[in-house]
Structures are given as C-alpha cells and as structure tokens.
Amino acid sequence: MTLVTVATTSTTSTESTSISCPTCGGSECIEPAGNILDNLYTLYMACNSCPPDPKLKKDAPFRIIEEEGYDNTPCNNCGARHLDIVMVEALAVMIEYGCRSKEARLFDVGTPLIAIGCPLAFAPRLKNNDLILIADNIDPLVAEKLIDIPEIKGVIKRVGTPTQSVGILDTDSEPHTYELLAGCDVRCDVVASSFGELCIYKSQSKIHIEFGRESPAKMQVLERLYMQGHLTRKTVVDGFCGPGTLGLMCVLAGAEHVILNDAWRTAIENTLINIEVNKEILEVELEKFVDISTLPDIGDEPIQVAQAKGNGIVIDVFHGDFRKLLNLEEVDAFDICLIDTYPSVDATGFTKYDTTGRMVII
C-alpha cells in the first residue's frame, strides 16, 4: 500500500484565517472553539429585557394559537426571540404556502436544531441564523420562504424515517442523506467529557444527528477506557470517525497517536474542520496532503488526507474502507480501535479483523 500524496497545503501559519464553510462557502458559519466556549453558557439565555416565555401550547392547532394571539416582536434590547415564537412563525409560513394546515401544531413544524448545540436547562432565545430546521413534507419554495425568517439558517428535508441514520452504513451501501433545501446546514455540537470540551461541526444534511443521551453515553465509554489505562500515551484508531468526535476526544484523554478514518468524504471534510477549529485545545497544527474535493464520496483504498502534530501528539486522517485500513503497516501497531457504527449496523462483524481484543464497540 502506498500513500498517495497530492499537493501539500500547509495551514500552519500563525495568523488566524477564517475557515470557509463547506456548504455555503461563507466565513461566518465556522468559528474557533475558543470563541464558542467562552460565551457558551449565556449564548441562548434571555437578557433582562427579553419578554417572558410565551407559553404557547405545543399540542394546540395553529388556529387556536392564532386566535389567542402571540407577540412575535424581537427583544428591544438583545434582538432575540423565544424558540417557540420562531417555530410558530415557521408554521405560519408553512400554512401560507400550503404544506401544513391550520390544524397543524408546533410539533408538526419539524425538528429544530440550534446552531451551537449544547445541553440547555431553558428554552433558547434565538438571534440571526441560530436555527436549522429539519422538516418532513416540504418543498424548496417553502424552504426559501422559511429562511426569510431571520433566525432560520437552513431548512433540511428529512428523507426516509426518523430512525434511519444519515450517512453511509458501510462502503457497500448507498449513502442515505437528507436534502438541504435552502440556506446552510453546517452547525456545531459542543461535546463535553471529563477530559474537556470540543466543538464538533457537522454538515447536518449528510452527517448523523445526535440527540439526547447519545453523546454523553459515548463519552462514558471513553472515560471507562481511560480509567482502565487504554488511552493515555496510546495509539488509538477511530475506525468510523464521522466528524471526528471520539478520536479527537481521545487526544484530550492523553492518547499520543490517533488515527481517524471514515469512508464517507463528508465525514472527513468535517473532521479536518474540527481539527482546525479545536487546534488550540488539541495543541496541534494541521497539514493537508490532499484536496478533499477530488476524493470520491465513498472511499475504498485508504488514502491519508492530512496529519496534525504538536506537543508530542500525532493525528493521522484517512479516507477509506475500514477493513482495508487495518492492512496498512503504519496502522497495525495500534493499542485500541474504536468502532462506532450506526445502531442499525452489526458492529461485531468488524471485530473479526482483530483477534487480540483491541477493538471496542462504542
């Protein structure tokens, strides 16, 4: 196996250059983790002047909410509006353009994802571009009208059932993606563990959407591996790395060499952004070997696309088939391999590639 090295585009310059968004090309979608974490816990909070919770009935038909009336004016101090007000505005637009009836409820609008996802003990107050909406039964015209609502950054059409994960199950299957109808689908989840916090950006129409306890449960697995001594100063393979969450968290847990791999190009594109965004926390500088846009959607023979280094840490990033990744000489000397596939995939099939018990299903 030879590694294909195309152009080397180093991003090791010390001046902070903005990262352009892989979906919309804009410079405001992606921010360094430090900027986000510094303001995280006040980000969606009501200011002293914000109107109180509108207490809209989420299970009442729109015609009732309309009859009872609601105040949709933004806060005159901070400019934010309550999530439910944004959702009722969205519902009004959907009704106007015929993709919902007046009997529809707030629940029927879709799934709201805030732009910076973090556990909140209160309903968020939203400002410009703070919300990405995932909706069923919606067409591009309505989506275009929805992004005229200032808080709505993007509208994604759900394809298939809510339980079908977005992305690829394995390299032999067709990718399952949602459809971005309007705006931009890039958002970030703040992932917290006892090792620290990372900001993980996702192209959300093509990358698995994590809800509820999913991420904390995975962090608990890492914390257990750490306690058992499997991470500190070890070489860790994150075989199905997605946007890089587990592998990058292993760097914070003290792993000295992390190999990130995914066959899905979007996952690798997001991983590289996430290394860049979190580089001060990870204490590394990223060097790209390949122009990611030239790679196929689904990789086969693993290609090393980038390496990040610093402070005794090496992070190698591969795009390719996991089963072939483990044939590579430079990958074989790992201590532990994390296998985090979708719930619908029988991950035990992958453990046959290692007989020494180094594979851990997350």
- Contacts of 222-231 with CB under 8 Å at 24 or more apart are 222/193, 222/195, 222/246, 222/249, 222/250, 222/253, 223/193, 223/194, 223/195, 225/253, 225/336, 225/360, 226/194, 226/195, 226/253, 226/254, 230/335, 230/336, 230/360, 231/255, 231/336
Q: For Zn ion, which is the closer residue by CB, 94 or 133?
A: 133
Binding track over 167-196 against Zn ion, x by CB under 5 A: -----------------x-x----------
Shortest approach of Zn ion to residue 77 CB, angstroms? 5
Q: For Zn ion, which is the closer residue by CB, 23 or 304?
A: 23
Q: For Zn ion, which is the closer residue by CB, 206 or 234?
A: 206
Shortest approach of Zn ion to residue 18 CB, angstroms? 12
Q: For Zn ion, which is the closer residue by CB, 222 or 277?
A: 277
Residue 253 binds Zn ion (CB under 5 A): no
Q: For Zn ion, which is the closer residue by CB, 26 or 349?
A: 26
Shortest approach of Zn ion to residue 266 CB, angstroms? 14
Q: State the Cα–Cα distance between residues 204 and 215, nearest whole angstrom.
A: 16
Shortest approach of Zn ion to residue 153 CB, angstroms? 8
In Å, how far are 68, 82, 282, 322 from 56, measured between CA atoms? 9, 10, 43, 48
Q: For Zn ion, which is the closer residue by CB, 273 or 328?
A: 273
Q: For Zn ion, which is the closer residue by CB, 186 or 259?
A: 186
Shortest approach of Zn ion to residue 362 CB, angstroms? 29
**Applying CB under 5 A, which part among 13-21, 139-147, 235-243, 344-352 lies near Zn ion?**
13-21
Give the interface size with Zn ion as a residue count (CB under 5 A).
13
Which of the residues 17 through 76 are near Zn ion (CB under 5 A)? 21, 23-24, 26, 29, 47, 49-50, 75
332: which 2 tokens? Answer: 């074989």
Shortest approach of Zn ion to residue 73 CB, angstroms? 11
Shortest approach of Zn ion to residue 40 CB, angstroms? 18
Shortest approach of Zn ion to residue 268 CB, angstroms? 18
Q: For Zn ion, which is the closer residue by CB, 22 or 247?
A: 22
Which of the residues 228 through 247 are near Zn ion (CB under 5 A)? none
264: which 2 tokens? Answer: 């899905």
CB-based contacts of 148: which residues, under 8 Å, 6+ apart? 93
Q: Are the CB atoms for 347 and 341 separated by under 8 Å? A: yes
CB-based contacts of 8: which residues, under 8 Å, 6+ apart? 287, 288, 289
In Å, how far are 7, 179, 221, 247, 317 from 169, measured between CA atoms? 30, 18, 22, 19, 20
Q: For Zn ion, which is the closer residue by CB, 77 or 164?
A: 77
Shortest approach of Zn ion to residue 28 CB, angstroms? 8
List the Cα angle 293/295/301 in 5-degree steps: 160
Q: Are the CB atoms for 201 and 229 separated by under 8 Å? A: no
Q: State the Cα–Cα distance between residues 224 and 65, nearest whole angstrom.
A: 48
Which of the residues 66 through 125 are near Zn ion (CB under 5 A)? 75, 77-78
User: In which order are the strands placed within the sheet that holds 179-183?
Assistant: 111-114, 131-135, 152-157, 179-183
Residues that bind Zn ion (CB under 5 A): 21, 23-24, 26, 29, 47, 49-50, 75, 77-78, 184, 186
